[in-house]
Chains A and B, each alone.
Chain A
Amino acid sequence: MNLSEKQLKKYENIAKKIRKEILDISYKTKSTHIGSSFSIVEILVALYFKHLKLNPKKPLNKNRDKFILSKGHACSAFYTTLFYKGFFDKKFFNGFAKDGGTLEHHPNRDIKRGIEASTGSLGHGLSLGVGMALASKYNKSKQKIYILLADGELNEGSNWEAIMFAAQHKLDNLVAIVDYNKIQALGRVKDVINLKPLSKKWQSFNWGVKEINGHNFKQIFNALEKIPFKKNRPNVIIANTIKGKGVSFMENKLLWHYRCPDDNEYKKALKEL
Protein backbone atom coordinates (compact mmCIF):
# COMPACT_ATOMS: atom_id res chain seq x y z
CA MET A 1 0.00 0.00 0.00
CA ASN A 2 1.30 3.42 -0.89
CA LEU A 3 0.53 6.07 1.64
CA SER A 4 1.39 9.62 0.72
CA GLU A 5 3.70 11.52 3.04
CA LYS A 6 0.72 13.68 3.96
CA GLN A 7 -1.37 10.67 4.99
CA LEU A 8 1.50 9.24 6.98
CA LYS A 9 1.94 12.54 8.74
CA LYS A 10 -1.74 12.44 9.71
CA TYR A 11 -1.38 9.12 11.52
CA GLU A 12 1.90 10.17 13.08
CA ASN A 13 0.20 13.26 14.46
CA ILE A 14 -2.61 11.23 15.96
CA ALA A 15 -0.03 8.93 17.57
CA LYS A 16 1.79 11.95 18.96
CA LYS A 17 -1.41 13.36 20.46
CA ILE A 18 -2.31 10.00 21.99
CA ARG A 19 1.16 9.61 23.54
CA LYS A 20 0.87 13.04 25.12
CA GLU A 21 -2.55 12.22 26.47
CA ILE A 22 -1.28 8.91 27.92
CA LEU A 23 1.56 10.77 29.60
CA ASP A 24 -0.90 13.31 30.90
CA ILE A 25 -3.42 10.90 32.40
CA SER A 26 -0.68 8.67 33.82
CA TYR A 27 0.93 11.67 35.50
CA LYS A 28 -2.34 13.08 36.79
CA THR A 29 -3.73 9.80 38.11
CA LYS A 30 -0.38 8.29 39.13
CA SER A 31 -1.14 5.30 36.93
CA THR A 32 1.42 2.66 35.97
CA HIS A 33 2.20 0.68 32.79
CA ILE A 34 3.09 3.74 30.76
CA GLY A 35 5.86 1.80 28.98
CA SER A 36 3.46 -0.97 27.95
CA SER A 37 1.04 1.64 26.62
CA PHE A 38 3.64 3.59 24.66
CA SER A 39 4.73 0.47 22.80
CA ILE A 40 1.30 -0.11 21.22
CA VAL A 41 0.28 3.41 20.18
CA GLU A 42 1.03 3.09 16.45
CA ILE A 43 -0.69 -0.32 16.30
CA LEU A 44 -3.84 1.08 17.91
CA VAL A 45 -3.85 4.18 15.70
CA ALA A 46 -3.46 2.07 12.56
CA LEU A 47 -6.30 -0.20 13.64
CA TYR A 48 -8.77 2.37 14.94
CA PHE A 49 -8.11 5.26 12.57
CA LYS A 50 -7.92 3.29 9.36
CA HIS A 51 -8.16 -0.42 9.35
CA LEU A 52 -10.99 -1.65 11.60
CA LYS A 53 -14.51 -1.68 10.23
CA LEU A 54 -16.00 0.09 13.21
CA ASN A 55 -18.31 3.00 13.75
CA PRO A 56 -18.56 4.57 17.21
CA LYS A 57 -22.04 5.74 16.26
CA LYS A 58 -23.13 2.15 15.58
CA PRO A 59 -21.19 0.17 18.19
CA LEU A 60 -23.63 -2.74 18.12
CA ASN A 61 -23.41 -3.40 14.39
CA LYS A 62 -23.38 -7.18 14.11
CA ASN A 63 -20.74 -7.25 11.41
CA ARG A 64 -18.30 -4.86 13.08
CA ASP A 65 -14.69 -5.89 13.37
CA LYS A 66 -13.83 -6.77 16.95
CA PHE A 67 -10.71 -5.86 18.88
CA ILE A 68 -9.60 -7.31 22.21
CA LEU A 69 -6.77 -5.83 24.22
CA SER A 70 -5.53 -9.05 25.75
CA LYS A 71 -2.69 -7.15 27.44
CA GLY A 72 -5.29 -5.25 29.47
CA HIS A 73 -2.67 -3.45 31.55
CA ALA A 74 -1.93 -1.19 28.57
CA CYS A 75 -5.40 0.29 29.00
CA SER A 76 -4.31 3.94 29.07
CA ALA A 77 -3.36 3.66 25.38
CA PHE A 78 -6.59 1.79 24.64
CA TYR A 79 -8.87 4.23 26.47
CA THR A 80 -7.17 7.21 24.90
CA THR A 81 -7.57 5.71 21.45
CA LEU A 82 -11.24 5.01 22.06
CA PHE A 83 -11.68 8.56 23.36
CA TYR A 84 -10.03 10.12 20.30
CA LYS A 85 -12.02 7.84 18.03
CA GLY A 86 -15.26 9.02 19.62
CA PHE A 87 -16.31 6.02 21.69
CA PHE A 88 -16.04 8.01 24.94
CA ASP A 89 -16.98 11.56 25.71
CA LYS A 90 -14.57 13.78 27.64
CA LYS A 91 -16.46 13.39 30.91
CA PHE A 92 -16.34 9.61 30.74
CA PHE A 93 -12.66 9.62 29.79
CA ASN A 94 -11.89 11.92 32.68
CA GLY A 95 -13.26 9.30 35.06
CA PHE A 96 -10.14 7.20 34.47
CA ALA A 97 -8.47 5.91 37.63
CA LYS A 98 -10.48 8.01 40.04
CA ASP A 99 -12.51 7.03 43.11
CA GLY A 100 -16.09 6.65 41.94
CA GLY A 101 -14.82 7.06 38.36
CA THR A 102 -15.59 5.29 35.11
CA LEU A 103 -12.49 3.39 34.00
CA GLU A 104 -10.09 1.29 36.04
CA HIS A 105 -6.60 0.01 35.29
CA HIS A 106 -7.85 -2.94 33.23
CA PRO A 107 -10.69 -2.74 30.69
CA ASN A 108 -14.18 -3.94 31.56
CA ARG A 109 -16.58 -4.97 28.85
CA ASP A 110 -18.68 -2.07 27.60
CA ILE A 111 -19.67 -2.77 24.02
CA LYS A 112 -21.40 0.54 23.49
CA ARG A 113 -18.11 2.22 24.28
CA GLY A 114 -16.06 -0.14 22.13
CA ILE A 115 -14.73 -2.51 24.79
CA GLU A 116 -15.58 -6.01 23.59
CA ALA A 117 -14.30 -8.01 26.56
CA SER A 118 -12.99 -7.61 30.08
CA THR A 119 -9.29 -8.34 30.27
CA GLY A 120 -6.50 -7.97 32.78
CA SER A 121 -5.65 -11.55 33.48
CA LEU A 122 -3.20 -12.61 30.77
CA GLY A 123 -3.74 -15.53 28.44
CA HIS A 124 -7.50 -15.08 27.94
CA GLY A 125 -7.81 -12.77 24.95
CA LEU A 126 -6.72 -15.11 22.20
CA SER A 127 -9.14 -17.87 23.24
CA LEU A 128 -11.96 -15.35 23.57
CA GLY A 129 -11.09 -14.23 20.06
CA VAL A 130 -11.16 -17.82 18.81
CA GLY A 131 -14.71 -18.15 20.17
CA MET A 132 -15.71 -14.93 18.43
CA ALA A 133 -14.05 -16.06 15.20
CA LEU A 134 -15.96 -19.37 15.33
CA ALA A 135 -19.25 -17.54 15.86
CA SER A 136 -18.39 -15.22 13.01
CA LYS A 137 -17.69 -18.13 10.63
CA TYR A 138 -20.93 -19.80 11.68
CA ASN A 139 -22.81 -16.55 11.01
CA LYS A 140 -21.06 -16.27 7.63
CA SER A 141 -19.96 -12.78 8.61
CA LYS A 142 -17.00 -11.06 6.98
CA GLN A 143 -15.93 -9.40 10.21
CA LYS A 144 -12.45 -10.02 11.55
CA ILE A 145 -11.32 -10.49 15.13
CA TYR A 146 -8.12 -8.74 16.27
CA ILE A 147 -6.30 -9.62 19.48
CA LEU A 148 -3.39 -7.61 20.81
CA LEU A 149 -1.12 -9.76 22.94
CA ALA A 150 1.88 -8.99 25.10
CA ASP A 151 5.10 -10.92 24.55
CA GLY A 152 5.37 -11.93 28.22
CA GLU A 153 1.75 -13.04 27.98
CA LEU A 154 2.85 -15.81 25.64
CA ASN A 155 4.25 -17.59 28.71
CA GLU A 156 0.64 -18.54 29.45
CA GLY A 157 -0.04 -22.03 28.12
CA SER A 158 -3.63 -21.23 27.22
CA ASN A 159 -2.33 -19.16 24.29
CA TRP A 160 -0.71 -22.22 22.78
CA GLU A 161 -3.93 -24.18 23.22
CA ALA A 162 -5.69 -21.44 21.27
CA ILE A 163 -2.93 -21.25 18.66
CA MET A 164 -3.25 -24.98 17.91
CA PHE A 165 -7.05 -24.87 17.83
CA ALA A 166 -7.24 -21.79 15.56
CA ALA A 167 -4.97 -23.44 13.00
CA GLN A 168 -6.88 -26.73 13.17
CA HIS A 169 -10.11 -24.89 12.40
CA LYS A 170 -8.58 -22.63 9.73
CA LEU A 171 -9.66 -19.41 11.41
CA ASP A 172 -8.34 -17.02 8.78
CA ASN A 173 -10.63 -14.32 10.20
CA LEU A 174 -8.51 -14.21 13.36
CA VAL A 175 -5.61 -11.77 13.65
CA ALA A 176 -3.22 -11.91 16.57
CA ILE A 177 -0.77 -9.05 17.02
CA VAL A 178 2.12 -9.58 19.39
CA ASP A 179 3.55 -6.46 20.99
CA TYR A 180 7.10 -7.78 21.03
CA ASN A 181 8.75 -5.13 23.18
CA LYS A 182 11.02 -7.73 24.75
CA ILE A 183 10.50 -6.70 28.36
CA GLN A 184 8.11 -8.43 30.74
CA ALA A 185 7.13 -7.80 34.34
CA LEU A 186 10.34 -8.89 36.04
CA GLY A 187 12.94 -8.69 33.32
CA ARG A 188 13.92 -9.08 29.70
CA VAL A 189 11.94 -11.68 27.77
CA LYS A 190 15.15 -13.40 26.70
CA ASP A 191 16.14 -13.84 30.36
CA VAL A 192 12.73 -14.98 31.64
CA ILE A 193 11.28 -17.25 28.96
CA ASN A 194 13.06 -16.68 25.69
CA LEU A 195 10.53 -16.60 22.86
CA LYS A 196 13.06 -16.85 20.04
CA PRO A 197 12.50 -17.82 17.30
CA LEU A 198 9.05 -16.30 17.72
CA SER A 199 7.97 -16.07 14.07
CA LYS A 200 9.10 -19.61 13.41
CA LYS A 201 7.16 -20.85 16.41
CA TRP A 202 3.90 -19.47 15.01
CA GLN A 203 4.79 -20.67 11.51
CA SER A 204 5.34 -24.18 12.76
CA PHE A 205 1.89 -24.04 14.38
CA ASN A 206 0.49 -23.35 10.89
CA TRP A 207 -0.24 -19.66 11.21
CA GLY A 208 0.44 -17.08 8.53
CA VAL A 209 3.10 -14.78 9.97
CA LYS A 210 4.39 -11.27 9.22
CA GLU A 211 7.13 -9.67 11.26
CA ILE A 212 7.23 -5.88 11.24
CA ASN A 213 8.45 -2.77 13.00
CA GLY A 214 5.44 -1.98 15.18
CA HIS A 215 6.13 1.75 15.19
CA ASN A 216 6.33 2.11 11.42
CA PHE A 217 2.94 2.98 9.95
CA LYS A 218 3.91 1.89 6.45
CA GLN A 219 4.83 -1.57 7.70
CA ILE A 220 1.77 -1.87 9.97
CA PHE A 221 -0.67 -0.91 7.21
CA ASN A 222 1.15 -3.10 4.74
CA ALA A 223 0.73 -6.13 7.01
CA LEU A 224 -2.91 -5.40 7.88
CA GLU A 225 -3.82 -5.00 4.21
CA LYS A 226 -2.37 -8.41 3.35
CA ILE A 227 -4.63 -10.40 5.69
CA PRO A 228 -5.14 -13.33 5.24
CA PHE A 229 -1.42 -13.92 4.87
CA LYS A 230 -2.02 -17.50 3.82
CA LYS A 231 -5.20 -19.16 2.66
CA ASN A 232 -7.11 -20.93 5.44
CA ARG A 233 -4.65 -19.93 8.12
CA PRO A 234 -5.01 -17.67 11.13
CA ASN A 235 -2.82 -14.57 11.04
CA VAL A 236 -0.22 -13.20 13.38
CA ILE A 237 1.71 -9.97 13.18
CA ILE A 238 4.86 -9.99 15.25
CA ALA A 239 5.31 -6.30 15.93
CA ASN A 240 8.81 -5.45 17.08
CA THR A 241 8.32 -2.53 19.40
CA ILE A 242 10.10 -0.54 22.06
CA LYS A 243 8.72 -0.43 25.56
CA GLY A 244 8.30 3.22 26.52
CA LYS A 245 8.62 4.34 22.88
CA GLY A 246 8.72 8.09 22.38
CA VAL A 247 10.41 9.23 25.57
CA SER A 248 14.16 8.60 25.58
CA PHE A 249 14.53 7.93 29.28
CA MET A 250 11.57 5.54 29.31
CA GLU A 251 12.58 3.53 26.25
CA ASN A 252 13.62 -0.07 26.90
CA LYS A 253 13.43 0.38 30.66
CA LEU A 254 11.70 -2.17 32.88
CA LEU A 255 11.18 0.55 35.48
CA TRP A 256 8.47 2.17 33.32
CA HIS A 257 6.33 -0.91 33.61
CA TYR A 258 5.71 0.37 37.14
CA ARG A 259 6.73 3.96 37.55
CA CYS A 260 4.54 6.97 37.00
CA PRO A 261 6.33 10.20 36.14
CA ASP A 262 7.07 12.79 38.83
CA ASP A 263 6.91 16.54 38.11
CA ASN A 264 10.36 16.76 36.53
CA GLU A 265 9.99 13.58 34.51
CA TYR A 266 6.61 14.71 33.30
CA LYS A 267 7.99 18.03 32.04
CA LYS A 268 10.98 16.35 30.45
CA ALA A 269 8.83 13.74 28.73
CA LEU A 270 6.37 16.35 27.51
CA LYS A 271 9.20 18.24 25.80
CA GLU A 272 10.27 15.11 23.96
CA LEU A 273 6.75 14.36 22.78
Chain B
Amino acid sequence: MKNIFVKKFTQLAKTNKNIFLLTGDLGFKLFDDFRKNCPKRFFNIGVAEANMISIAAGLSLSEKNVYCYSIAPFLIMRAFEQVRVDICFHNLNVKLLGGGTGLSYGLEGMTHHTIEDFAIMKALPNMTVIAPGDIKEAEEIAKQSINYPGPIYIRLPKQANESVYKTDPKIKIGKGEIVEYGKDICLITTGSMLYNSKIALEKLKKKKIKPTLVSIHTIKPLDENLIKKISKTHKYIFVIEEHSLIGGLGTSVAEILLESKYKGMFKKIALPDKYSCYIGHLPYLYDKYGLSPEKIYKNILHTIKNK
Protein backbone atom coordinates (compact mmCIF):
# COMPACT_ATOMS: atom_id res chain seq x y z
CA MET B 1 0.00 0.00 0.00
CA LYS B 2 2.87 2.26 0.96
CA ASN B 3 4.60 1.86 -2.40
CA ILE B 4 1.44 2.46 -4.40
CA PHE B 5 0.64 5.58 -2.40
CA VAL B 6 4.14 7.00 -2.74
CA LYS B 7 4.26 6.22 -6.47
CA LYS B 8 1.06 8.14 -7.14
CA PHE B 9 2.04 10.95 -4.79
CA THR B 10 5.45 11.30 -6.44
CA GLN B 11 3.91 11.42 -9.89
CA LEU B 12 1.74 14.37 -8.82
CA ALA B 13 4.42 16.08 -6.75
CA LYS B 14 6.81 16.31 -9.68
CA THR B 15 4.78 19.12 -11.21
CA ASN B 16 3.56 20.67 -7.96
CA LYS B 17 6.49 22.75 -6.82
CA ASN B 18 4.88 23.52 -3.49
CA ILE B 19 5.10 19.97 -2.19
CA PHE B 20 7.91 19.10 0.23
CA LEU B 21 8.75 15.64 1.49
CA LEU B 22 10.51 14.99 4.80
CA THR B 23 11.65 11.66 6.16
CA GLY B 24 13.11 10.59 9.47
CA ASP B 25 15.90 8.64 7.77
CA LEU B 26 13.54 5.87 6.70
CA GLY B 27 11.98 4.63 3.45
CA PHE B 28 14.85 2.88 1.69
CA LYS B 29 14.23 3.04 -2.09
CA LEU B 30 10.73 4.36 -1.43
CA PHE B 31 11.57 7.96 -2.31
CA ASP B 32 14.26 7.50 -4.96
CA ASP B 33 12.04 8.87 -7.71
CA PHE B 34 10.99 11.89 -5.64
CA ARG B 35 14.59 12.57 -4.61
CA LYS B 36 15.79 12.36 -8.17
CA ASN B 37 13.12 14.62 -9.58
CA CYS B 38 12.56 17.05 -6.70
CA PRO B 39 15.92 17.20 -4.88
CA LYS B 40 15.34 20.68 -3.47
CA ARG B 41 12.04 19.65 -1.96
CA PHE B 42 13.30 16.50 -0.26
CA PHE B 43 14.86 16.52 3.20
CA ASN B 44 16.15 13.64 5.20
CA ILE B 45 15.81 15.17 8.65
CA GLY B 46 17.77 12.35 10.24
CA VAL B 47 16.65 10.12 13.07
CA ALA B 48 14.88 13.02 14.78
CA GLU B 49 11.11 12.83 14.56
CA ALA B 50 10.31 15.68 16.94
CA ASN B 51 12.47 18.00 14.87
CA MET B 52 10.93 16.67 11.65
CA ILE B 53 7.36 17.44 12.73
CA SER B 54 8.20 20.96 13.86
CA ILE B 55 10.24 21.62 10.71
CA ALA B 56 7.22 20.44 8.69
CA ALA B 57 5.12 22.95 10.63
CA GLY B 58 7.64 25.72 9.96
CA LEU B 59 7.58 24.94 6.24
CA SER B 60 3.81 24.85 6.27
CA LEU B 61 3.65 28.15 8.16
CA SER B 62 5.60 29.41 5.14
CA GLU B 63 2.82 28.16 2.84
CA LYS B 64 4.46 24.89 1.75
CA ASN B 65 2.50 21.66 1.39
CA VAL B 66 4.42 19.14 3.48
CA TYR B 67 4.43 15.35 3.69
CA CYS B 68 6.33 13.56 6.47
CA TYR B 69 7.25 9.92 6.49
CA SER B 70 8.48 7.50 9.09
CA ILE B 71 7.52 4.18 10.60
CA ALA B 72 4.20 5.07 12.20
CA PRO B 73 4.93 4.85 15.94
CA PHE B 74 8.11 6.92 15.60
CA LEU B 75 6.29 9.48 13.48
CA ILE B 76 3.21 10.09 15.61
CA MET B 77 4.08 8.77 19.06
CA ARG B 78 7.67 9.89 19.56
CA ALA B 79 6.68 13.29 18.24
CA PHE B 80 3.12 13.34 19.55
CA GLU B 81 3.28 16.68 21.27
CA GLN B 82 4.82 18.29 18.17
CA VAL B 83 1.93 16.84 16.14
CA ARG B 84 -0.53 18.22 18.70
CA VAL B 85 0.84 21.74 19.09
CA ASP B 86 2.66 22.51 15.87
CA ILE B 87 0.50 20.68 13.33
CA CYS B 88 -2.99 20.33 14.84
CA PHE B 89 -3.28 23.52 16.87
CA HIS B 90 -1.98 25.55 13.91
CA ASN B 91 -4.25 23.43 11.68
CA LEU B 92 -1.59 23.12 9.00
CA ASN B 93 -1.38 21.37 5.66
CA VAL B 94 0.93 18.66 6.86
CA LYS B 95 0.31 15.04 5.89
CA LEU B 96 1.76 12.37 8.13
CA LEU B 97 2.49 9.15 6.28
CA GLY B 98 2.80 6.34 8.80
CA GLY B 99 4.67 3.40 7.34
CA GLY B 100 4.19 -0.16 8.46
CA THR B 101 1.17 0.16 10.77
CA GLY B 102 -0.85 -2.51 12.48
CA LEU B 103 1.19 -5.67 12.72
CA SER B 104 2.64 -5.36 9.23
CA TYR B 105 6.22 -5.20 10.47
CA GLY B 106 5.65 -8.69 11.85
CA LEU B 107 8.94 -9.99 13.14
CA GLU B 108 10.30 -6.53 13.88
CA GLY B 109 8.20 -6.69 17.00
CA MET B 110 6.36 -4.39 19.34
CA THR B 111 8.44 -1.25 18.76
CA HIS B 112 7.48 -1.33 15.08
CA HIS B 113 3.86 -2.44 15.46
CA THR B 114 1.19 0.24 15.51
CA ILE B 115 -2.01 -0.77 17.24
CA GLU B 116 -3.02 2.47 18.98
CA ASP B 117 -2.70 5.03 16.19
CA PHE B 118 -6.41 5.47 15.39
CA ALA B 119 -7.21 6.11 19.04
CA ILE B 120 -4.37 8.57 19.44
CA MET B 121 -4.83 10.47 16.18
CA LYS B 122 -8.64 10.53 16.41
CA ALA B 123 -8.42 12.40 19.69
CA LEU B 124 -6.62 15.35 18.11
CA PRO B 125 -8.85 18.25 17.03
CA ASN B 126 -8.39 19.20 13.33
CA MET B 127 -6.78 15.85 12.50
CA THR B 128 -8.20 13.71 9.68
CA VAL B 129 -7.40 10.00 10.01
CA ILE B 130 -7.23 7.75 6.98
CA ALA B 131 -6.41 4.09 6.39
CA PRO B 132 -6.64 3.10 2.71
CA GLY B 133 -8.02 -0.40 2.32
CA ASP B 134 -6.55 -1.36 -1.01
CA ILE B 135 -4.44 -0.08 -3.87
CA LYS B 136 -7.28 1.78 -5.55
CA GLU B 137 -8.12 3.60 -2.35
CA ALA B 138 -4.42 4.30 -1.70
CA GLU B 139 -3.96 5.87 -5.14
CA GLU B 140 -7.08 7.98 -4.88
CA ILE B 141 -6.24 9.18 -1.37
CA ALA B 142 -2.72 10.08 -2.50
CA LYS B 143 -4.34 12.26 -5.15
CA GLN B 144 -6.98 13.85 -2.94
CA SER B 145 -4.65 14.45 0.00
CA ILE B 146 -2.71 17.08 -1.94
CA ASN B 147 -5.43 19.72 -1.91
CA TYR B 148 -7.16 18.55 1.24
CA PRO B 149 -6.98 21.32 3.84
CA GLY B 150 -5.51 20.65 7.29
CA PRO B 151 -3.52 17.80 8.77
CA ILE B 152 -4.04 14.15 7.82
CA TYR B 153 -2.57 11.02 9.32
CA ILE B 154 -2.46 8.31 6.67
CA ARG B 155 -1.87 4.71 7.67
CA LEU B 156 0.15 2.83 5.06
CA PRO B 157 0.78 -0.86 5.71
CA LYS B 158 3.62 -2.61 3.95
CA GLN B 159 1.54 -5.19 2.15
CA ALA B 160 -0.48 -4.36 -0.96
CA ASN B 161 -3.23 -6.76 -1.81
CA GLU B 162 -5.18 -6.78 -5.03
CA SER B 163 -8.15 -4.47 -5.14
CA VAL B 164 -11.47 -5.64 -3.76
CA TYR B 165 -13.33 -3.39 -6.16
CA LYS B 166 -14.62 -4.84 -9.41
CA THR B 167 -15.04 -1.40 -10.94
CA ASP B 168 -13.34 1.88 -10.09
CA PRO B 169 -14.89 3.12 -6.86
CA LYS B 170 -15.82 6.76 -6.30
CA ILE B 171 -13.48 7.28 -3.36
CA LYS B 172 -13.88 10.51 -1.44
CA ILE B 173 -12.11 11.45 1.78
CA GLY B 174 -14.74 11.45 4.53
CA LYS B 175 -17.12 9.07 2.75
CA GLY B 176 -17.44 5.35 3.34
CA GLU B 177 -17.77 2.94 0.45
CA ILE B 178 -20.19 0.04 0.08
CA VAL B 179 -18.07 -2.54 -1.69
CA GLU B 180 -20.76 -5.14 -1.94
CA TYR B 181 -24.43 -5.19 -0.98
CA GLY B 182 -25.75 -8.10 1.07
CA LYS B 183 -28.44 -8.80 3.60
CA ASP B 184 -28.87 -8.71 7.38
CA ILE B 185 -25.17 -8.81 8.18
CA CYS B 186 -22.69 -6.00 7.59
CA LEU B 187 -18.91 -6.14 7.82
CA ILE B 188 -17.51 -2.67 8.37
CA THR B 189 -13.79 -2.70 7.70
CA THR B 190 -10.86 -0.36 7.44
CA GLY B 191 -7.34 -0.49 6.05
CA SER B 192 -5.76 -3.90 5.69
CA MET B 193 -8.83 -5.68 7.04
CA LEU B 194 -10.81 -4.79 3.92
CA TYR B 195 -8.99 -7.51 2.01
CA ASN B 196 -9.10 -10.15 4.77
CA SER B 197 -12.80 -9.46 5.30
CA LYS B 198 -13.50 -9.77 1.58
CA ILE B 199 -12.02 -13.29 1.60
CA ALA B 200 -14.00 -14.13 4.76
CA LEU B 201 -17.10 -12.84 3.00
CA GLU B 202 -16.53 -15.15 0.03
CA LYS B 203 -16.32 -18.07 2.46
CA LEU B 204 -19.57 -16.99 4.15
CA LYS B 205 -21.28 -16.88 0.78
CA LYS B 206 -20.55 -20.56 0.39
CA LYS B 207 -22.59 -21.08 3.56
CA LYS B 208 -25.42 -19.12 1.95
CA ILE B 209 -24.71 -16.10 4.11
CA LYS B 210 -24.37 -12.91 2.13
CA PRO B 211 -23.16 -9.94 4.16
CA THR B 212 -22.72 -6.36 3.08
CA LEU B 213 -19.10 -5.22 2.91
CA VAL B 214 -18.23 -1.63 3.77
CA SER B 215 -14.87 0.08 3.51
CA ILE B 216 -14.25 2.99 5.85
CA HIS B 217 -10.97 4.47 4.66
CA THR B 218 -11.64 7.70 6.55
CA ILE B 219 -11.77 6.94 10.27
CA LYS B 220 -12.20 10.62 11.10
CA PRO B 221 -14.36 12.42 10.11
CA LEU B 222 -16.45 9.28 10.07
CA ASP B 223 -19.26 8.86 7.54
CA GLU B 224 -22.01 8.85 10.16
CA ASN B 225 -24.84 8.85 7.63
CA LEU B 226 -23.61 5.66 6.06
CA ILE B 227 -23.32 3.93 9.45
CA LYS B 228 -26.84 5.06 10.39
CA LYS B 229 -28.19 3.87 7.06
CA ILE B 230 -26.59 0.47 7.52
CA SER B 231 -27.90 0.21 11.08
CA LYS B 232 -31.47 0.47 9.79
CA THR B 233 -31.15 -2.43 7.39
CA HIS B 234 -28.75 -4.85 9.09
CA LYS B 235 -29.33 -7.03 12.17
CA TYR B 236 -25.67 -7.83 12.72
CA ILE B 237 -22.83 -5.34 12.47
CA PHE B 238 -19.20 -6.41 12.72
CA VAL B 239 -16.34 -3.94 12.71
CA ILE B 240 -13.04 -5.47 11.65
CA GLU B 241 -9.79 -3.59 12.11
CA GLU B 242 -6.08 -4.17 12.66
CA HIS B 243 -6.06 -1.95 15.73
CA SER B 244 -6.54 -2.28 19.45
CA LEU B 245 -10.11 -2.89 20.62
CA ILE B 246 -9.79 0.42 22.42
CA GLY B 247 -10.46 3.62 20.56
CA GLY B 248 -10.42 2.45 16.97
CA LEU B 249 -13.07 2.37 14.25
CA GLY B 250 -15.12 -0.11 16.30
CA THR B 251 -15.37 2.39 19.14
CA SER B 252 -16.46 5.17 16.78
CA VAL B 253 -19.10 2.97 15.12
CA ALA B 254 -20.39 1.79 18.53
CA GLU B 255 -20.90 5.38 19.60
CA ILE B 256 -23.00 6.12 16.54
CA LEU B 257 -25.04 2.93 16.94
CA LEU B 258 -25.74 3.67 20.58
CA GLU B 259 -26.82 7.20 19.85
CA SER B 260 -29.10 6.05 17.06
CA LYS B 261 -30.68 3.37 19.30
CA TYR B 262 -29.51 0.41 17.23
CA LYS B 263 -31.31 -2.75 18.33
CA GLY B 264 -29.21 -5.31 16.49
CA MET B 265 -26.05 -7.17 17.43
CA PHE B 266 -22.71 -5.41 17.33
CA LYS B 267 -19.25 -6.95 17.59
CA LYS B 268 -15.71 -5.67 17.27
CA ILE B 269 -13.14 -7.95 15.69
CA ALA B 270 -9.83 -6.32 16.53
CA LEU B 271 -6.56 -6.71 18.40
CA PRO B 272 -6.67 -7.23 22.16
CA ASP B 273 -5.54 -4.52 24.57
CA LYS B 274 -2.10 -6.12 24.75
CA TYR B 275 1.33 -5.77 23.16
CA SER B 276 2.15 -8.67 20.91
CA CYS B 277 3.39 -11.72 22.76
CA TYR B 278 3.81 -13.75 19.57
CA ILE B 279 6.82 -13.89 17.30
CA GLY B 280 6.18 -14.31 13.63
CA HIS B 281 5.39 -12.95 10.20
CA LEU B 282 2.21 -11.02 9.50
CA PRO B 283 0.01 -13.95 8.37
CA TYR B 284 1.05 -15.88 11.48
CA LEU B 285 0.18 -12.92 13.71
CA TYR B 286 -3.16 -12.45 11.92
CA ASP B 287 -3.97 -16.05 12.67
CA LYS B 288 -2.93 -15.78 16.32
CA TYR B 289 -5.00 -12.65 16.83
CA GLY B 290 -8.07 -13.81 14.92
CA LEU B 291 -7.61 -11.42 12.02
CA SER B 292 -6.77 -13.94 9.27
CA PRO B 293 -9.56 -14.39 6.69
CA GLU B 294 -10.23 -17.86 8.10
CA LYS B 295 -10.48 -16.67 11.71
CA ILE B 296 -12.68 -13.70 10.75
CA TYR B 297 -14.95 -16.07 8.85
CA LYS B 298 -15.20 -18.48 11.79
CA ASN B 299 -15.77 -15.69 14.29
CA ILE B 300 -18.67 -14.27 12.26
CA LEU B 301 -20.19 -17.67 11.60
CA HIS B 302 -19.93 -18.67 15.25
CA THR B 303 -21.40 -15.38 16.45
CA ILE B 304 -24.40 -15.59 14.14
CA LYS B 305 -25.11 -19.23 14.94
CA ASN B 306 -24.96 -18.67 18.67
CA LYS B 307 -27.20 -15.63 18.69
B169 to chain A minimum Cβ distance, whole angstroms, is 36
With an 8 A cutoff between CB atoms, is B85 at the interface? yes
Q: How large is the interface on A (under 10, 10 to 19, 20 to 34, 35 or more residues)?
A: 20 to 34
Residue A135 contacts which of B50, B54, B64, B82 (CB distance < 8 angstroms)? B64
The segment from B28-36, B41-49, B197-205 that touches chain A is B41-49
User: CB-nearest residue of chain B relative to A162?
Assistant: B51
Report yes or no: B48 in contact with A134, Cβ–Cβ below 8 A.
Answer: no
With an 8 A cutoff between CB atoms, is A213 at the interface? no
With an 8 A cutoff between CB atoms, is A124 at the interface? yes
With an 8 A cutoff between CB atoms, is A100 at the interface? no
Contacts of A164 in B (CB 8 A): 46, 48
Q: A109-B90, A118-B90, A158-B82 are in contact. Are A124 and B54 (CB under 8 A)?
A: yes
Contacts of A118 in B (CB 8 A): 85, 89-90
The segment from B55-63, B227-235, B251-259, B287-295 that touches chain A is B55-63
Residue B85 contacts which of A121, A139, A157, A162 (CB distance < 8 angstroms)? A121
Residue B51 contacts which of A109, A135, A139, A165 (CB distance < 8 angstroms)? A165
Report yes or no: A134 in contact with B50, Cβ–Cβ below 8 A.
Answer: no
Report yes or no: A131 in contact with B90, Cβ–Cβ below 8 A.
Answer: no
Contacts of A124 in B (CB 8 A): 54, 82, 85-86
With an 8 A cutoff between CB atoms, is A128 at the interface? yes
Contacts between the two chains (Cβ within 8 Å), count: 89
Distance A132 CA – B90 CA, assembled complex (angstroms): 14
With an 8 A cutoff between CB atoms, is A21 at the interface? no
Contacts of B45 in A (CB 8 A): 165
With an 8 A cutoff between CB atoms, is B81 at the interface? yes
Report yes or no: A158 in contact with B51, Cβ–Cβ below 8 A.
Answer: yes
Residue A130 contacts which of B55, B63, B64, B90 (CB distance < 8 angstroms)? B55
Q: A117-B90, A118-B85, A124-B86 are in contact. Are A161 and B46 (CB under 8 A)?
A: yes
B69-87 CB contact bits vs A (8 Å, 1 = yes)?
Answer: 0000000000001100110
With an 8 A cutoff between CB atoms, is A136 at the interface? yes
Q: A134-B58, A135-B62, A138-B40 are in contact. Are A128 and B86 (CB under 8 A)?
A: yes
Distance A136 CA – B48 CA, assembled complex (angstroms): 22
Residue B55 contacts which of A109, A136, A157, A165 (CB distance < 8 angstroms)? A165
Q: A116-B61, A131-B57, A131-B61 are in contact. Are A165 and B86 (CB under 8 A)?
A: no
Contacts of A114 in B (CB 8 A): none
With an 8 A cutoff between CB atoms, is A129 at the interface? yes
B99 to chain A minimum Cβ distance, whole angstroms, is 20
* Interfacial residues, chain A to chain B (CB-CB below 8 A): 109, 116-118, 120-121, 123-124, 127-136, 138-139, 157-158, 161-162, 164-165, 168-169
Can you list 20 A-B contacts with CB-CB less than 8 angstroms, sorted by A residue number?
Answer: A116-B61, A118-B89, A124-B85, A124-B86, A127-B51, A127-B53, A127-B54, A127-B55, A127-B57, A127-B82, A131-B57, A131-B58, A132-B62, A134-B43, A134-B59, A135-B59, A136-B62, A158-B54, A161-B51, A164-B48
